[in-house]
Each structure stands twice: as C-alpha cells, then as structure tokens.
Amino acid sequence: MSLSVGPIQSYVPGSTWFDLTKYSSLGTQERVSINLADSNLWLIDSSDLYLPYNYAPRIAFINEGAGYQSPVSMTANGSTTGDITVFKNLSGTNSILPSRNAPLKVGDWVQMSEILAGTQLNFSVKPNGVVNAKAISLSTNYKLNPTSTSNPNSPIFWTAYADPKASKPLVLLGYEDIVGKGSDNDFNDGIIAIDVGPDNFKAIFASANLGQDATINLKDAEAVPFEMHSALGLLVMGAIALARRGGWWKHAPWHTRPQSPKP
C-alpha cells in the first residue's frame, strides 16, 4: 500500500479534530521554558513513533518561528513503506514569524492514507529546502542527522510532546532548523501535531515517555516506563489524599443536602 496525502484543509474552530488554542503557546516558547506540568504535557521520544495498529493519521500545522521555507516529510518503514512530503513549505501567513507569500495558515491540516499496523513513522525537515534543494534533512530518526558543537542536543533536532489526558490525544512535534552556528536550540522553528489514533497513542506514550522536565538534554534522555492506567491510579490516590485532609468532599453537594427523614 503506497502513501498518499490529501489536500490542505482549513481549521474550523469547534469542528476540526483538534483544539488549536490548547497548543498555541507551544510555538511562542523555547523548549526549555515550557512548563510541561502546568500544560499537562509530557516529553516523548520523537524517534519512537511506532504504530502497532492500523490508522490513517491526520497532521496539522500548529505554528512556526522560522525565517526558512522548509518542506516537512514523513517516512514509513514496516508494513507500510514510503516517503511523502506532508507540507511543501511549513511557512504561515499568521504564524510567529509570518511571511506574506507563505502557503499555510495556522491550523491547516492534511489527511494521510492508512498506515498498516507494524509501521515506524519518522518525520524530517529540509531546512530552507524550498530555496536550497541541497540542504541536509533533519529527521526524527536522529541516527541520520549530523552533530554540531553549536547544538548540545544534536544529533537530535526534533522534540515531541503529548497530553495523555486530552480527549483526543495527539503527538506534537517541534524541530530546530539550524545545525551549526546560529542554532538556538529553541525547537520551535516548526510545530506540527499528529493524530495517530487513541490505541497507537497509548502504545507510544507507554514506551516513549521522557518525563516532564523540559530542560533535559534530549541527547541523553531515556524513556521512563509509564502506563496510562498507572497515571489514572495516581489521580485516584491524589483524590483520596485530598479527602483525608478534609478537602473538597466537605463542600460536595451530598454534604449540604438535607438528610431524608428516616421511615
């Protein structure tokens, strides 16, 4: 089965499959400044986007803070194999660093063809590739990337975030588009969101979680084993602790309701 991508569709507040407002601050902050716990976001290993279930992903342009005009591509390896350009030029007319002739508006998105269970996905950006076709692509598969003393995270140029409590959880990906001198390691030169479906998301989140410290060096980051149901367990424990301290339950409606008379 070959890969294909549908036409660019516009964001319609309230009816498009994601909530743009929830992620609009991501692009305006440098990676290390994001308060992940406050935003309920977790760092995810961007090289571990493996899909154990069939799904037709949707990919959205969240923002960009780049002067470059950069194509973004997706590579599939496994049951589905191929390489396809997702956005020919990840530049917006209303993004953080807008340009008048850019092809995209924040929130634009595309539907991908179905990816079969057992496929590894990788994304890559060709920095300023619209202008310089010979530029070296930077992939979420960091083994393909160069390293540079200007970028302490290199060869990692992509970071990923996820909110496991979202009703439709997504993987958010941001890249740094300069390898050498001039690299500012902000990882917000382009930000996209990927809907891999709830089952694939759970599998990715369980194996690729890097915790909630935004300041870690992505090069040394190690996955922390994490399961969705243990997160729920922690939530339940938190609620019990609050109740024991005489918290919210005193104000709960059943405490203020008059007791029904005994027969």
Between 151 and 200, CB nearer to Ca ion? 151
Between 163 and 176, CB nearer to Ca ion? 176
Q: DSSP characters for 161-182? A: EE-TTSSS--EEEEE----STT
Query: Which residue in the shown chain puts its C-beta closest to Ca ion?
Result: 97
β-pairing, 119-125 vs 82-87, is unpaired
Cβ distance 171 to 44 under 8 Å?
yes
The answer to whether residue 19 forms part of the interface with Ca ion (CB under 5 A) is no
How far apart are CB 188 and Ca ion at their closest, in Å? 7
The answer to whether residue 30 forms part of the interface with Ca ion (CB under 5 A) is no
Cβ distance 94 to 104 under 8 Å?
no
The answer to whether residue 199 forms part of the interface with Ca ion (CB under 5 A) is no
- Compute the CA torsion angle 65, 108, 43, 139 (nearest 10 deg): -70
How far apart are CB 12 and Ca ion at their closest, in Å? 23
DSSP H helices in 46-156: none
Going by C-alpha positions, the residue among 157, 97, 148, 83 that lies closest to residue 127 is 157
Between 5 and 97, CB nearer to Ca ion? 97
- Which residues from 57-96 bind Ca ion, rule CB under 5 A? 66, 91
Query: Residues 127-146 vs Ca ion: string with x where CB under 5 A?
Result: --------------------
How far apart are CB 191 and Ca ion at their closest, in Å? 11
Going by C-alpha positions, the residue among 42, 45, 29 that lies closest to residue 213 is 42
Distance CA 128, CA 120 (A): 26
How far apart are CB 236 and Ca ion at their closest, in Å? 41
The structure tokens listed for 19 are 């909530």
Query: Residues 150-189 vs Ca ion: string with x where CB under 5 A?
Result: --------------------------x-------x-x--x
Q: Which residues bind Ca ion (CB under 5 A)?
A: 66, 91, 97, 176, 184, 186, 189
